Amino acid sequence: MFIWFLTSHDDVGWLKTIDQYYVGSNNSIQGACVENILDSVIMSLRRDPNRKFVFAEMVFFHRWWERQNPEIQKEVRKLVDAGQLEFVNGGWCMHDEAATHYIDMIDQTTLGHQLIKNQFNKTPRAGWQIDPFGHSAVQAYLLGVELGFDSIHFARIDYQDREKRQEDKSLEVIWQGSRTFGSSSQIFANAFPVHYSPPNGFSFEVNTDFNPVQDDPLLFDFNVEIRVNDFINSAMIQANVTRTNHIMWTMGDDFQYQYAESWFKQMDKLIHYVNKDGRVNALYSTPSMYADAKRAASESWPLKTDDYFPYAISANTYFTGFFTSRPTFKRYIRMLSGYYLAARQIEFLIGRRSAGPNTYSLSDALGIAQHHDAVSGTSRLHTTSDYAKRLAIGASEAEITVSSALPCLIDSKLNGQCATPTMTFSQCQLLNISFCPTTEADIPEGKSLVVVAYNPLGWERIDFVRIPVNDHYLVVKDSMGKIIESQYVELDNATRNMRSFYVEAYIGISPKEAPKYWLFFQASVPPLGWNTYFISKASRKGNSKSVYVSLVDHPKNETIVIGPGNLKLSFSSASGQLKRMFNSKSGIDMPVQQSYHWYASSEEAESSDAYHFRPNASTPQVVSRSVPLKVTRGPLVHEVHQQFNSWVYQIIRVFKDKEHAEVEFTIGPIPTENTVGKEIITRVTTNMSTEKVFYTDSNGRDFLKRVRDYRADWPLAVTQPIAGNYYPINLGIFIEDMKSELSVLVDRATGGSSINDGEIELMLHRRIIKDDTGGLVEPLDELICVNGTCEGLTIRGNYYMSINERGTGSRWRRTTGQEIYSPLLLAFSHENAQNWKSSHLTKATAMDANYSLPLNVALITLQELVDGSVLLRIAHLYEAGEDVEYSSLAKVELKKMFAGKTLKALKETSLSANQDKSEMKRTTWEVEDQNGSDPDPIRGGPVDMSTLIVELGPMEIRTFLLRF
């Protein structure tokens, strides 16, 4: 028997923008119009009830659907009910799996699933990730099983892996992506034998050259027998690499079915004549029907654990460059992802407004940005600009939402109810390059600079606020009016230069002179709450002791030691190199070097580009062996400033009460002379004996063990010793030996590895001059222009390093990782402090005053939906066995979490909230050679409505719809 099914793969932006793809403009770049596809597919389906079609990208479907009249909508609902049109995946887009954060993956899927639920009352059953460049463990167990999918289908796996799987018929597997959940969370995963296009000769797009079935005996070229034989031959080839007698043909390709009848006509005929021939049976089908047939075949399947990274299509084409491509765009997405989480909380806390600004356009833009050519950095520059524009529009609307909601939230008289706030806050998206007009301005007489810090985390945090100011005679007071410690650090030139160029490039205004100082102070903010700080002018004579302008060290000793707290870093004053890290609390003392290098891209035909990474040698060029350093010290933070060369600048910060070092890098413009491309890396080098092993995260969630030059599923032929060992990183990377651990956390999606034992490497930036060979036909050469003056992109960001005793690093990684993802939301205003205090709650929490979530639990969604119900997601942050204390059952008390509100109804749902958890069907599959060491995962029990306590086992995410 044969099973067929049909689809069109419609990228949510790539060579063209999403709008251009939808309406079919700019067809000189690529002939593609999604509106035509949907129009014509629907017409073709209505002509014959046997025909079927699957559609994946709901952002396109949504646009089309909104523009149809009720009559067409009714017809489409009939097609969906009859199973002729099936939504697969059903997210806003077909998300990338390498550069995406799991929270973004959940959000974008929810957006599409809610649409399908509301309009069609359907729940997608199949994952359809046919095009992303490699596949993640989180996709399998979280964005698969937890959505109620029983199968997932994709095309792109490593060429060596595919070859081996063809030989032993293991392309189709039972995938257990989670070490914690093991066999209790598994999905049927179908990797296609070749690609997601049809077998050769069976592509029927209207304007392409194909050999139609000619079945009219009057035609001179009557060819039914020939075409039937071609068909059966192609089927036999595929049957030889597939278990059971069901095979799948993916009848479609990128933006196909512009005139759907062209395909359906051919397939109708082929089905008719092939079935008449009788050797095989062909039919229209869908991925979920295919999976049902596979299950009914009572076959046992090979087991797959971990993931499908990295992905290569040949010896020299490793898709590991895109882990880092377009690093500022990746950072923008991550920053807005955290902001979106906080903004929805605030929106919920004051009650979602039915009119006026809200967070929807940000959710739409973020949904689009998760597409496998968006966050991946693999679309053309004009398309990337279009994504960024959508994000900027969404961000500014969300910012207005937050700025007008905050006054309502914190006004002590209003109790959360307010229509028109009397004052507004400003927020500063360009704070990292010192641009924040409100904090830079002179504080008016009789007023203070009011800083409200909102904490979206479920636990109290102590964090450092850093704002640009022009005056160093300022005092910072806490919510009780007590003066707290503050510290000034003079603004560096790297920031000054970035500010003057990038503020104009990004927001179109030329900024005034850069502020003189960064002002640091420590903020302590309750969970799901806020705290207020008042900054005012000090009397100049009685210069307060708490005001501290950092001293600049002029090192005389051979070794310079920095760090106001437990963690110390020592540097060589001769070379400027980091030499050691030691922590006086844990006793860990480790020789550590830190450096910058670059790989020159290969000049061969298969070179680095937006997708690929192919250095011309295994040893990168060092940026600088010896680098001068400038040290500043104060009570809160010590900083080491280093200019490695004219385009790499770095500040290492060690804060009081923080057990890690923060590295702020400023890289660019990358010079391009004498080379086709440069890929800039940082290396952290220790003498740890790591035996080729390192750990990287899966979409910011589980940590996966990686072994250099090794794959668990096949004997790896190492062709690219660097690129072939790169993995995607969204949360962090760590190494360990018998004694200690070294961990690095990142602030955005990036690529990384451990190329030598004891070493961690991150690729931070890349600029490729040569034209892309992966389809873009455009170099990855990001230019930023102001008034016609263009320069290569300069990036700024952070990574964070910590040393820990073996077995204890996960606490730092999990807690700090959450803090990096969800930073304090800062809002600024100039007000009279006394008036403010008398009318506002200066420090409060939305939870019970004495409550906080356990440290192993994060609140990942709190959102009021359009129908007034509230979407709540809470996530356990630890894997089974990850930490002796925290890898255990955690409890969340909803009564205390929602203090002051009465919870009237609670319903546990699937991850995308489109079906009752209790109604989700778990499909079971027979796994061959399943050994006995399967874990028995801890899971929380049902929620008792009287106690309202939610239990979470390790790595569990539980989703609820609430009514208050």
Residues at the interface with Zn ion (CB under 5 A): 11, 131
Rounded Cα distance, 563 and 887, in Å: 31
CB 754 within 8 A of CB 733: yes
Minimum distance from residue 129 beta carbon to Zn ion (Å): 10
Minimum distance from residue 363 beta carbon to Zn ion (Å): 22
Which structure tokens are listed for 704?
A: 């996966």
Say what angle helices 360-369 and 58-66 make with each other, to 10 degrees: 130
For residue 849, the tally of other CB atoms under 10 A from its CB is: 10
Peptide bond into 669 cis (omega under 30): yes
Q: 649: which strand partners?
A: 643, 666
Residue 131 vs 759, nearer CB to Zn ion: 131
Minimum distance from residue 61 beta carbon to Zn ion (Å): 16
Q: 254: which strand partners?
A: 9
Catalytic residue (choose from 96, 131, 478, 492): 131
Residue 131 vs 440, nearer CB to Zn ion: 131
Residue 131 vs 831, nearer CB to Zn ion: 131
CB 856 within 8 A of CB 878: yes
CB 332 within 8 A of CB 391: yes
Minimum distance from residue 337 beta carbon to Zn ion (Å): 22
Minimum distance from residue 767 beta carbon to Zn ion (Å): 24
Residue 474 vs 776, nearer CB to Zn ion: 776
Which structure tokens are listed for 778?
A: 């455009």
Please, where are the H alpha helices in 240-326?
A: 260-277, 287-296
Minimum distance from residue 132 beta carbon to Zn ion (Å): 8
DSSP secondary structure string, 191-254?
E-SS-SSPSTT----TTS--------TTSTT--HHHHHHHHHHHHHHHHTTSSSS--EEEE--B
Minimum distance from residue 10 beta carbon to Zn ion (Å): 8
Residue 381 vs 505, nearer CB to Zn ion: 381
What single DSSP character describes residue 184?
A: G
Minimum distance from residue 317 beta carbon to Zn ion (Å): 17
Nearest Cα to 498, choosing from 335, 649, 388? 649
Residue 33 vs 228, nearer CB to Zn ion: 33
Minimum distance from residue 127 beta carbon to Zn ion (Å): 15
Report the SS3 class of residue 647. Answer: coil
Minimum distance from residue 120 beta carbon to Zn ion (Å): 24
Residue 565 vs 774, nearer CB to Zn ion: 774
Minimum distance from residue 254 beta carbon to Zn ion (Å): 6
Q: Dihedral sign for Cα 305, 307, 311, 313, please.
A: positive
Rounded Cα distance, 267 and 248, in Å: 14
Rounded Cα distance, 691 and 942, in Å: 44
Whether residue 131 lies in the annotated active site = yes
Minimum distance from residue 287 beta carbon to Zn ion (Å): 17
Outline where DSSP puts E strands in 256-368.
Answer: 284-285, 300-301, 303-304, 312-314, 317-318
Q: Dihedral sign for Cα 32, 33, 36, 42, please.
A: positive
CB 614 within 8 A of CB 606: yes
Minimum distance from residue 11 beta carbon to Zn ion (Å): 4
Q: Looking at this protein, which amino acid is placed at residue 153?
A: H
Q: Whose CB is nearest to Zn ion?
A: 131
Rounded Cα distance, 713 and 709, in Å: 12
Residue 131 vs 492, nearer CB to Zn ion: 131
What stretch of H or E contains 720?
Answer: none
Helix-strand-coil percent breakdown of the chain, rounded to 5?
25, 30, 45
For residue 1, the tally of other CB atoms under 10 A from its CB is: 12
Which structure tokens are listed for 369?
A: 């940005």
For residue 933, the tally of other CB atoms under 10 A from its CB is: 6
Please, where are the H alpha helices in 526-682?
A: none
Which structure tokens are listed for 818?
A: 């959450």
Q: Looking at this protein, which amino acid is placed at residue 770?
A: K
Rounded Cα distance, 294 and 302, in Å: 13
**Residues whose CB falls within 8 Å of the CB of residue 713, separated by 6 or more in sequence, listed in order:** 161, 164, 304
Residue 8 vs 185, nearer CB to Zn ion: 8
Rounded Cα distance, 133 and 375, in Å: 12
Residue 128 vs 960, nearer CB to Zn ion: 128
Say what angle helices 70-81 and 102-120 make with each other, to 10 degrees: 110
Burial 85-116 (b: 16+ CB within 10 A, else e): bbbbbbbbbbbbbbbbbbbbbbbbbbbbbbbb
Q: 678: which strand partners?
A: 600, 767
Active site residues: 131
